[in-house]
Chain A
Amino acid sequence: MMTQADQSIPKITTGVSGFDHISFGGLPEARTTLVAGTSGSAKTVFASHFLAAGIQQFDQAGVFITFEEPAAEIRRNMRGFGWDVSTWEQNGKWTFIDASPTPGAEPILTGDFDFGGLLVRVEAAISRTNARRVALDSLGAVFAEFSDAATVRRELLRITASLRELGVTSVLTVERTEEYGEIARFGVEEFVADNVIILRNALDAEKRRRTLEVLKFRGTTHAKGEYPFSVVPHKGVEVIPLAAIGLTQGSTNIRVTSGNDKLDEMCGGGFFRDSVILVSGATGTGKTLSATQFIGAGAQAGEKCLFLAFEESHDQLSRNATSWGYDFKTLEANGTLLVSCVYPEVQSLEDHLISIRDQIDEFEPDRVAVDSLSALERISSKKGFREFCIGLTSFVKQKEIATMVTSTTPTLLGGTSVTEAHISTITDSIVLLRYVEMFGEMRRGLTVLKMRGSVHEKSIREYRIDKTGMTLGAQFRNVVGILSGNPHNVAPDEADRLAKLFEE
């Protein structure tokens, strides 16, 4: 991702999760980056995370200049992210410069002034602790305290110039009044226009959605556009890189079983190990069964399998699996299986993605099943859901994890869902489960619609679900219109005639 051209302005790896990825390597070194956002857009957390990551990952000391919240408040608030600021202060890793106003003692302005006091404090702190990172948070408070905006701008410019000379990398936070409007209040961007990051906390279809955008990095490249992020307890800011993950994953010819021999046969010998498989069907067509087979067979073969369930409880899944011949309890005890049941509504979709990724990183599974994506779809906006799908699939593909996701179609016969529109192009295989109405009876049909990189059977086969699981039978011979949701019977000789028509 880094090219020669990027080397002109070196970047400092921030250590802020996901951010280094979309910024192509971090923040421009020895420069000031403006972090602009509306109230509640996590500016202070971002600034603090920048310093905390420097200390934790690179042993770089930092200086935090606070104009608004008193230092004590920040110390307390940051404890929730697992950052022990007090200890870092004692070790000379974190230095507060408290420039927050004293309540009830507003200073009296009597003429021209400069920020000489602040500047020497900052310079002294940097040289004393050999700091490499500086955060200034947030500028709005200074402008509120000193009515002379032009002087404040001039003096802040002097401070950023001095920081640059000292070779420290800094972030400077400032308020915005609206999510999509001027970059920052008080004309701040006029003096720190080189690098601008915008944090948004926009209302999208009644849901709050946080995004981070690198608006510009002068003289160097970065990913364009808004990327969702979340503020995670014990971790801080976590940016979700989505498609910024390059399509670099290798391709493998190794096949894995779907848990159903007949289905493996239809796929030309099973699914590919590094593929994402979508199983689509109406309610009751056996999606959870497919996922259970996929996970159960994998776990029985000694592969590590992660079952992410968003619809059924642990007990329900386990009971059904047992009846289908998979002993989830034993497999879980062996450590080959991990079943995680979460109600979709407990957290935002961004947070779901982050926790899924954490689980995968921790458990390191060979297989993952998500049942179902449609359950997750209902807690998010369209845009957020699309990003989730991309974020999830690109992550599992990079790790070469065979992943099965299920999706519920809204209609009983035929049909597609929004879920599929978002995910079908990024899946490698698609299995359709459909109801077929025949002579006053509901029967079920399965077809492999897509199998990237392999030949597969094109027929629609009937299957039955019974106590032992899914049994695939013969092809529907005399029915047409199954996938369009309008099945009707044709006479056998008509079917033969149609088949022959294409042979000539």
Chain B
Amino acid sequence: MNSGAERYVLKLFITGRTERSENAITTLRQICRDTLNNRYELLIIDVLEHPNLAEEDRILATPTVIKELPLPMRTIIGDLTEKERVLVGLNLHPDGKNGESA
């Protein structure tokens, strides 16, 4: 159920520029470019520089993607290697699978 008009607001929390962080950034950027065209906002937050933002969103693990919009909010944890699961979590899976029923 991907209505083409929905705007995405994503936050990606990372801890420093590690390999794990880079993997997550690359994968997420690629997904956004491929499926969301220009209807997304992606904020990359390094918790080492902004511990207060980590506190605000109660971040436990990194990397963590928070899909703030569209609702419902979802949390995706890990370096995003399992791309299928990422798509499910973002409600962008081509088969119409979505995070809510997964």
Residues of A within 8 A of B (CB): 97-99, 102, 105, 107-121, 123-125, 146, 155
Contact = CB atoms under 8 A, between A and B. Distances in A.
Contact of A107 (B14, B16, B75, B80): B75
Given A112-B78, A119-B15, A121-B51, 7 more contacts: A110-B77, A110-B82, A111-B23, A116-B47, A118-B61, A120-B47, A125-B55
B72 interface: yes
A105 B75 contact: yes
The number of chain B residues touching the other chain, given as a range, is 35 or more
A108 B54 contact: no
Interface string B43-67: 0000110011011001111111000
B61 A113 contact: yes
Contacts of B51: 120-121, 123-124
B79 A113 contact: yes
Contacts of B99: 108
A111 B102 contact: no
Contact of B74 (A98, A108, A121): A108
Given A113-B79, A121-B55, A105 B61 contact: no
Contacts of B20: 112-114
Contacts of A117: 13, 15, 47, 54, 59-62, 64
Contacts of B60: 99, 115, 117-118
A288 to B, nearest CB: 62
Residue among A102, A113, A116 with the most chain B CB within 10 A? A116
B73 A105 contact: yes
A115 B51 CA distance: 13
B72 A111 contact: no
A114 B62 contact: yes
Contacts of B79: 110-113
5 contacts: A102-B58, A110-B77, A111-B23, A112-B20, A124-B52
A110 B54 contact: no
B41 to A, nearest CB: 20
Interface in B6-25: 13-16, 20, 23
Contact of B81 (A97, A112, A155): A112
